[in-house]
Amino acid sequence: MATRILVAGFQHETNTFAPSKATYASFERGEGFPAMVRGDAMRALRDVNIPAGGFMAAAERYGWTLLPVIWAGASPSAHVTEDAYERIAGEIVGAAQAGGFDAVYLDLHGAMVAEHTDDGEGTLLARIRAVVGPGVPVVASLDLHANVTHAMLEAADVLVAYRTYPHVDMAETGARAAALLQRLLEGKGPWHRAVRRLPFLIPINGMCTMLEPARGMYALLQQAERGDVVSLSFAPGFPAADFPECGPAIWGYGADAGAAEAAVQALYDRMLADEPAWEVPFLSPDEAVLEAMRLAAGAARPVVIADTQDNPGAGGDSNTMGMLRALLRHGARQAAIGLIWDPAVVAEAHRAGVGATIEVALGGVSGVPGDAPLQGRFEVLRLSDGVCRYGGPMMHGMLADIGPVALLRIDGVQVVVSAGKAQMLDRNLFRAGGVEPEAMKILVNKSSVHFRADFQGIAQAVLVAKAPGPMTADPGDLPWTRLAPGIRLKPMGRPFQA
């Protein structure tokens, strides 16, 4: 009889300082992730670059029978509402209670905070373990930005995290989870587990694995995963979740306890030695625009500016106006910015039609200090339905629906405004609004790092700007109240005191 695997996914990255919560409707829409799917409809995700897709493809090779339950993800934001959490987690736990399977695989993020639980994944995994008992293998994949908790580690037989940021190895991570599960089913586990928590928070911009020091850290991790060391993971964490277990962690599994401990300790020692290198320099909006104009003057490729503090992939609402104001203030030309989330302005543009000029107050409604709506006259250049398919390495092949879109122009700047919220991680999101990215001199992306997967190759240079926004790029600037006492608020930063 074929091995039967219960499969489900529940993904959310929670910024407890962000302005908007994730409701059940957020997960139904997906908001830049695949929309919520159940049962056999999950199989359509097999060829999408997400962990569940990689796991399902690997399951076919192992000859397993899959029992898909639900896959639900929503754009990073403030807390997941209790209603959304309990409805989705309840479906997964209910399927586990029904039985009829040999193992469980969960596609999780690892940094979910709900209104009623700090540890969304730990709570879910503990509920699953309570239902299936100690003898059924439970394996989960995690995002590189997971805040890995004691409860998560205790309830799962194996946790395995991405190794790239931008996350181009999501499907690969799902396949690695499947390979580890196969070894457990063959009786080659359970394994000894080793864990170390790092004593400092890391800015998300410093976690990019295309750059040092993250690139070297993950190279060392992969080299150390051999022999009796079955699996190693390093999650730099998501430094915007105000609870005691927020922060980076290194963990591993080994057939030999000493080997696992030694490998994890070596990675921990490397991180401590390199701590100063994990700090990140930022530009002001004016500095970024002036430098971009200087670099773009004689360049054949666009200069890309990351509007990192309004990244909807980290809890921003993608509607702050700081970078757009800076572009206008300095007279930037052949510049484009996107995506700006403003359903009301999109609706007004669609009512007016292409060629019209509309007087509107754009964005600036998230209550961010130093930000406000931008009142101005905008020409409507193009309208679309906002449906496109991702062509870049991240989530390659996924159909995205960002709702109706309007391409507006004010002075020399084109503004892609969308009715749905999504991070600018794929060039086709600009194209959905009518902007050809390669033809521009300056591109401002509402993103922190993910955009690099599809934009780095066309960029003359990449700059990181710190305009006012909900996602504070420097964790040392956040008003923490509940962190673990003594953890440094950034590399070489001051220790947290309650």
Indicate the domain borders of the chain. 4-278, 285-473
Distance, CA of 23 to CA of 441 (rounded, Å): 38
Token pair, residue 94, equals: 């209910």
Contact 189, 459 (CB under 8 A): no
CATH classification code of 4-278: 3.40.50.2300
Whether 15 contacts 26, CB under 8 Å: no
Under-50 pLDDT residues of the chain: none
How many CB atoms lie under 10 A from the CB of residue 28? 13
Peptide bond into 213 cis (omega under 30): yes
Interatomic CA distance for residues 34 and 32, integer angstroms? 7
> How are beta strands 442-445 and 335-341 bridged, if at all?
parallel
pLDDT at 435: 98
pLDDT of residue 321: 98
For residue 419, give Cα distances in angstroms to 268, 344, 357, 385: 44, 8, 19, 10
Q: What integer pLDDT is reported at residue 256 of this predicted model?
A: 96
> Residues 214-270: pLDDT tens digits?
999 999 999 999 999 999 999 999 999 999 999 999 999 999 999 999 999 999 999
Residue carrying structure tokens 């292409």: 354
**Helix/strand/coil (H/E/C) assignment for every residue in the chain:** CCCEEEEEEEECEECCCCCCCECHHHHHHCECECCCEEHHHHHHHCCCCCHHHHHHHHHHHHCCEEEEEEEEECCCECCECHHHHHHHHHHHHHHHHHCCCCEEEEEECCECCECCECCHHHHHHHHHHHHHCCCCCEEEEECCCCCCCHHHHHHCCEEEECCCCCCCCHHHHHHHHHHHHHHHHCCCCCCEEEEEECCECCCHHHHCCCCCCHHHHHHHHHHHCCCCEEEEEEECCCCCCCCCCCCCEEEEEECCHHHHHHHHHHHHHHHHHCHHHHCCCCECHHHHHHHHHHHHCCCCCCEEEEEHHHCCCCCCCCCCCHHHHHHHHCCCCCEEEEEEECHHHHHHHHHHCCCCEEEEEECCCCCCCCCCCEEEEEEEEEEECCEEECCCCCCCCCEEECCCEEEEEECCEEEEEECCCCCCCCHHHHHHCCCCHHHCCEEEECCCCCCHHHHHHHCCEEEEECCCCCCCCCHHHCCCCCCCCCCECCCCCCECCC
Cβ neighbours around 325 below 10 Å, total:
18
Amino acid at 261: E
Alpha-carbon distance of 68 to 43, in angstroms, equals 8
Report the pLDDT value the prediction gives residue 454, as an integer from 0 to 100: 97
Query: What pLDDT score was predicted for residue 97?
Result: 98
Dihedral of alpha carbons 322, 462, 161, 31, sign: positive
Q: Alpha-carbon distance 207 to 236, whole Å?
A: 7
**CA 53 – CA 235 distance, rounded (Å):** 21
What's the chain's Rg over C-alpha atoms? 22
pTM greater than 0.85: yes
Q: Name the residue among 152, 146, 158 with its Cα closest to residue 232.
A: 158
DSSP bridge pairs for 10: 72, 108
Amino acid at 352: A
Q: Are 16 and 113 in contact (CB under 8 A)?
A: yes
Tell me: the pLDDT tens digits for 452-488? 999 999 999 999 999 999 888 999 999 999 999 999 9
